[in-house]
Chains A and B, each alone.
Chain A
């Protein structure tokens, strides 16, 4: 650890933190990447599905080692026995091996010159003083205090760094998902599809998923819901029920879980010489819970604006709000739309939900010539779900 201090300290070596550290180190800054876990990437806290390789390659050199499967379709089991199957001819996304993925990104950051410290827990951030922030770092029973001109909090859903500097980043119960995932030694019947169960027949306030990981011959079976009431069945028992139903004899290799912020972007996640990125800033898709892509996009934007800030000798909150604006433009607006869709679907009663799913199925199965026609039909479906009586008269 250097005594002279750093230009940037990045807290957390997940995808977002590593990409931010890598891009800053590439631009010639002194970067410290501090990870509190002893091994980068362990334990996994993720469903491990993300966007297509083509999108990933905009941000990194994709290494085949951590690509497990590429999927091109989705199967959605809705309420009332409505099964929606979508087979695309293009790649929809890939399954990752998150441990290798995180480690590869952290290595990339280290190769560009960032200093990676593991088992290094940041336990406090001071207010800004004379253009630096002082961080308390605990490593191996010793406490160090380090100076940084800029701090990036990329410490995931359990982020405390934002709360130390006075940002309101706590996970609030109506907009937080609790999730668990069982890694099962089995092979899925549909290796090129992601499978979901959603709706009043299975689980309303969330969904259950089965993601195949073909290369390592395992299946990720998980479930996530908005934080339940006290005394409701916990997610582990729920997942076990589905495991016993679909993979009765298979062995469970590992259990992991986590917290998924589904509020959409926070209103404010920058401060003087401080910004949040990735899950810490709630950069997750409120409909699907996926956050790898948004975290990477946000990290790239963060590195860009920090670079501009250093060049302009201005890392104040007002300047960094431009980063917030860029995140909003690149994915935040879409996330808010998706949050509205989610609230609408989850708010429907059993009967209304069935009508909605039927309309949705029609949309997926019908061949639409243009996307706008599909969106128009989806709107019609929502209208139909809102007025079930009218729909019945018109169609059934």
Chain B
């Protein structure tokens, strides 16, 4: 494990993805507004409005990084019925 961070690929053009029947859900009762998910999200798919977390579903690519990150387990990815 190196110590100097590999740089993020934020500037790279978005790779077109196959549309997935998934949705990123937030449990607002569990959420503690720590905003860590905003920092780790590679697609800018969420942002804090004051202390409220908003998810932009159209930008999300379901990479599960925020789900792994969330310290209280408030974020989940669910499959939509086909």
- Using CB atoms, name the residue of chain B closest to A258: B34
Q: Which residues from chain A contact B2 at a C-beta distance below 8 Å?
A: 343
Q: Do B71 and A176 touch across chains, with their CB atoms under 8 A apart?
A: no
Interface residues of A in 138-162 (CB under 8 A from B): 156-160
- Using CB atoms, name the residue of chain B closest to A279: B39
Q: Do A178 and B36 touch across chains, with their CB atoms under 8 A apart?
A: yes
Q: Which residues from chain B contact A158 at a C-beta distance below 8 Å?
A: 35-39, 48
Interface residues of B in 35-52 (CB under 8 A from A): 35-42, 44, 47-51
**Majority SS of interface residues in chain A?**
loop
Min CB–CB distance A358 → chain B (angstroms): 24
B13-48 vs A, CB cutoff 8 Å, 1 = contact: the mask equals 000000000000000000011111111111010011
Report which of B1, B11, B38, B64 forms a contact with A166, defined as CB distance below 8 A: B11
B51-82 vs A, CB cutoff 8 Å, 1 = contact: the mask equals 10000000000001101111111000000000
Q: Do A339 and B3 touch across chains, with their CB atoms under 8 A apart?
A: yes
Q: Do A264 and B3 touch across chains, with their CB atoms under 8 A apart?
A: yes
A20-42 vs B, CB cutoff 8 Å, 1 = contact: the mask equals 00000000000000001110001
Q: Which residues from chain A contact B39 at a C-beta distance below 8 Å?
A: 157-159, 170-171, 176, 259, 261
Min CB–CB distance A190 → chain B (angstroms): 26
Min CB–CB distance B45 → chain A (angstroms): 11
Min CB–CB distance A242 → chain B (angstroms): 14
Q: Which residues from chain A contact B44 at a C-beta distance below 8 Å?
A: 160, 163
- Using CB atoms, name the residue of chain A closest to B77: A230
Q: Do A176 and B40 touch across chains, with their CB atoms under 8 A apart?
A: yes
Q: Give the most central of A173, A227, A282: most B CB within 10 Å.
A: A227
- Using CB atoms, name the residue of chain B closest to A180: B71
- List 21 A-B residue pairs with CB atoms under 8 Å apart, sorted by A's residue number: A38-B51, A42-B51, A43-B32, A121-B48, A156-B35, A157-B36, A157-B39, A160-B47, A166-B10, A168-B11, A172-B8, A178-B70, A178-B71, A236-B73, A255-B72, A257-B34, A258-B36, A259-B36, A263-B4, A282-B5, A336-B3
Q: Do A258 and B35 touch across chains, with their CB atoms under 8 A apart?
A: yes
Q: Which residues from chain B contact A176 at a C-beta distance below 8 Å?
A: 36, 39-40, 69
Q: Do B40 and A36 touch across chains, with their CB atoms under 8 A apart?
A: no
* Cα–Cα distance between A173 and B66 once the two chains are bound (Å): 10
Apart from A37-B50, A157-B39, A168-B9, what are 17 other A-B pairs with CB-CB below 8 Å?
A43-B33, A159-B39, A168-B8, A168-B10, A168-B11, A173-B65, A176-B36, A178-B70, A229-B68, A230-B68, A234-B70, A255-B32, A257-B72, A259-B39, A263-B3, A336-B4, A343-B2
- Tell me whether A175 is interfacial, beta carbon within 8 Å: yes
Using C-beta atoms within 8 Å of the partner chain, give the interface range for chain A.
Answer: 35 or more
- Using CB atoms, name the residue of chain B closest to A233: B73
Q: Give the most central of B37, B39, B48: most A CB within 10 Å.
A: B39
- Using CB atoms, name the residue of chain B closest to A39: B51
Using C-beta atoms within 8 Å of the partner chain, give the interface range for chain B.
Answer: 35 or more
Q: Do A178 and B3 touch across chains, with their CB atoms under 8 A apart?
A: no
* Cα–Cα distance between A166 and B10 once the two chains are bound (Å): 8
Q: Which residues from chain A contact B48 at a C-beta distance below 8 Å?
A: 36, 121, 158
Q: Do A227 and B33 touch across chains, with their CB atoms under 8 A apart?
A: no
Q: Do B69 and A178 touch across chains, with their CB atoms under 8 A apart?
A: yes
Q: Which residues from chain A contact B51 at a C-beta distance below 8 Å?
A: 37-38, 42-43
Q: Which residues from chain A contact B64 at a C-beta distance below 8 Å?
A: 230
- Tell me whether A119 is interfacial, beta carbon within 8 Å: yes
The 6 residue pairs across chains A and B that have the minimum distance between CB atoms: A259-B36, A170-B8, A158-B35, A158-B38, A235-B71, A180-B71
Q: Do A257 and B36 touch across chains, with their CB atoms under 8 A apart?
A: yes
- Tell me whether A53 is interfacial, beta carbon within 8 Å: no
